[in-house]
Amino acid sequence: MPSEAKTVLIVDDEPDMREFVQVALEDDGYRFVTATDGAAALALVAEEQPALIVMDVQMPKKDGLTTLYDLRQDAAAKSIPVILLTGVSEKTGVRFTAESVEEYMGERPDAYFDKPVDPEVLRRAVGELIGRAADSAAS
C-alpha cells in the first residue's frame, strides 16, 4: 500500500466501468477522481496531477486516443502513465495494441487492454507503472 495516497484518474463514459476500475484498485490505497470524457479528463489532470490515468478509448466529446495525444504534448502531463481500455475488439473483432495506437496516433499508451480486463492484470499494471513513474521522478 502506498505510504502517501497516489491519485488515479479514471476516464470512461460508462459508470459501471468507472466503478469496476475503482473496485479493482481500491485495496491498494489509491485516491480516485473520475471523468466521463477526454475533455473533462484534461481539465482534471491540471487540477489533480494524477499519478496515473486509466482511460477508455471510445467516449463522447473527446475520445481516449485524442486525449492521449493531447496529454503527451503537454509538458506538465506527458510523463503521467496512461492505460487505455477498450471494447473495440469485442464490438468489431479488430484487435488493437499499444504499438498500433502509436502507429496511428504517433503516441503510445503505457499499457493497452481489451475489455473486459482481468482485475488482477489491471492492478499489476497500475502498481508497476506508478512505481516506475515514482522511480523516474526520484532520479
Supply 39's cell numbers.
Answer: 475533455
Q: Give how far Cα 101 sits from Cα of 12, 14, 84, 110, Å.
A: 18, 22, 10, 11
pTM score, two decimals? 0.88
The whole-angstrom separation of Cα 122 and Cα 25 is 8
* Radius of gyration (C-alpha) of the chain in whole angstroms: 14
In the chain, what percentage of residues exceed pLDDT 70? 81
21-25, 32-36, 135-139: least confidently modelled range:
135-139
Q: Give the domains, in start order, of the chain with CATH numbers.
A: 7-83 (3.40.50.2300)
Give residue 95's pLDDT band: very low, low, confident or very high (50, 70, 90): low
Give residue 2's pLDDT band: very low, low, confident or very high (50, 70, 90): very low
Span 84-89, mean pLDDT? 78
Contact 58, 88 (CB under 8 A): yes
